[in-house]
Amino acid sequence: MSNSNTSRMRSIFRTKTSKALDRMEDPRDMLDDSYDQQVKLLQQVRQALAEVATAKKRVDLQGQELGNRYQRLGAQAKEAISQGREDLARAALERRSLIERQVAQLQQQYAGMQAQTSQLEDRERRLSEQIAAFRIEKETIKATYTASEAQVKANEAVAGIGATIDDVGTSLDRARDRVAQMQARAAATDELLASGALKDLTAPPDADIERQLAALSAKAEVDRQIAELKGTEGGSGGRRTGGADDAGEWLSIGQGPTG
């Protein structure tokens, strides 16, 4: 592989790598990713809070059931004593004592879950406030970055337009120079043709002699008209050579002496 191809491939690789890094370093993407992570964390806290609330409800239901049995066993013990059945009353009270120990355990679990719930609720509240504040700041930063990015693009576009206009101006200047050169060349060739330095291949034979004779005839005609004007000014009844009355005689112009 030649050095030029290797250099070109390295340039392309650097360009693509730079674009990839620009995408990775885009603060808007970074802020959105951070916001999403915080939202996921909040969801996890809320899920844990719901799970603790569910477990606490189950303990509460078990406590209510044991409480109902506790009250029922107390009533049964009283009924057994009233009927002279101390043995039944004793059995009811023994079971009631066992329920008391179970209820005490449930009460400890319930209290621990209550403390955990309060802790999770406080964490959920603070995290929600933090995320809300972060979201506002995130959107503000994104809007500022987007506006700055748009300004950069606009400035780059203006710079590109300026460069294009400069190129157009350069092209116009070159075109004007070419036109001036061609006009000067055309005038020079006309003079050369007129002087005979250049031969007009499209002209008929002996055109140069005819051109010189025509010039002499034109000069002689001018001399004649000058002499006629002088003679008219010297005489008293000379004919006028122009005026409103001669306006209809334009057809005779160039047809020879008017006398």
Number of H helices, E strands in the chain: 4, 0
Mean pLDDT of 174-191: 76
Q: How far, CA to CA in Å, does 168 sit from each of 163, 175, 176, 251?
A: 9, 10, 12, 54
Q: Which residue has the higher pLDDT, 167 or 31?
A: 31
Higher pLDDT, 29 or 255: 29
pLDDT band at 167 (very low <50, low <70, confident <90, very high): low
**Residue from 4, 106, 3, 8 nearest 60 by CA:** 106
Query: Does residue 31 contact residue 142 with C-beta atoms inside 8 Å?
Result: yes
pLDDT grade, residue 39 (50/70/90)?
A: very high
Can you give the residue range of the structural domain that contains 40? Answer: 22-150
Distance CA 45, CA 116 (A): 12
Asked whether residue 189 is assigned to any structural domain, the reply reads no
- Does residue 174 lie within any of the structural domains? no
> pLDDT class for 201, splitting at 50, 70, 90?
low
Q: Which residue has the tokens 């059995």?
A: 91
Token duo for residue 111: 């209290």
Of 205, 259, 256, the residue nearest 237 (C-alpha): 259
Per-residue confidence band for 204, with pLDDT thresholds at 50, 70 and 90: low
Q: What confidence category does residue 57 fall into, taking pLDDT thresholds of 50, 70 and 90?
A: very high
Q: Which band of pLDDT confidence, cut at 50, 70 and 90, is reported for residue 49?
A: very high
140, pLDDT greater than 80? yes
Cα separation, 22 vs 121, whole angstroms: 40
Nearest to 37 by CA among 149, 144, 127, 110: 127
Q: For 185-209, what is the mean pLDDT?
A: 65
In a domain, 55, yes or no: yes
Query: What's the average model confidence in pLDDT over 170-182?
Result: 76
Q: What is the pLDDT of residue 244?
A: 46
Q: Examine the pLDDT at 189 and tell me if it is beyond 60.
A: yes
What mean pLDDT do residues 163-185 have?
Answer: 72
Q: Is residue 61 part of a domain?
A: yes
Predicted confidence at residue 195, as pLDDT, reads 65
Q: What HEC string does 206-253 produce?
A: CHHHHHHHHHHHHHHHHHHHHHHHHHHHHCCCCCCCCCHHHHHHHHHC
* Residues in the chain, overall count: 259
Exposed, middle or buried: residue 92 (CB in 10 Å: 0-12, 13-18, 19+)? buried
pLDDT of amino acid 161: 60
Mean model confidence pLDDT for the chain: 78
The single residue listed with the structure tokens 């909040």 is 42
What pTM, to 2 d.p., does this model score? 0.48
State residue 13's pLDDT score: 52
Query: Does residue 220 form part of some domain?
Result: no
- Predicted confidence (pLDDT) per residue in 81-138, tens digit: 999 999 999 999 999 999 999 999 999 999 999 999 999 999 999 999 999 999 999 8
Q: Is residue 237 one of the residues assigned to a domain?
A: no
Residue among 90, 89, 72 at smallest CA distance from 80? 89
Q: Is residue 200 part of a domain?
A: no
Residue 21 has pLDDT above 50, yes or no: no
Q: Running DSSP on this structure, what letter comes out for residue 26? A: -
Q: How far apart are CA 176 and CA 196, in angstroms?
A: 30
* Cα–Cα nearest to 67, from 15, 104, 40, 34: 104
> Does residue 88 sit within a domain?
yes
The number of domains in the chain is 1
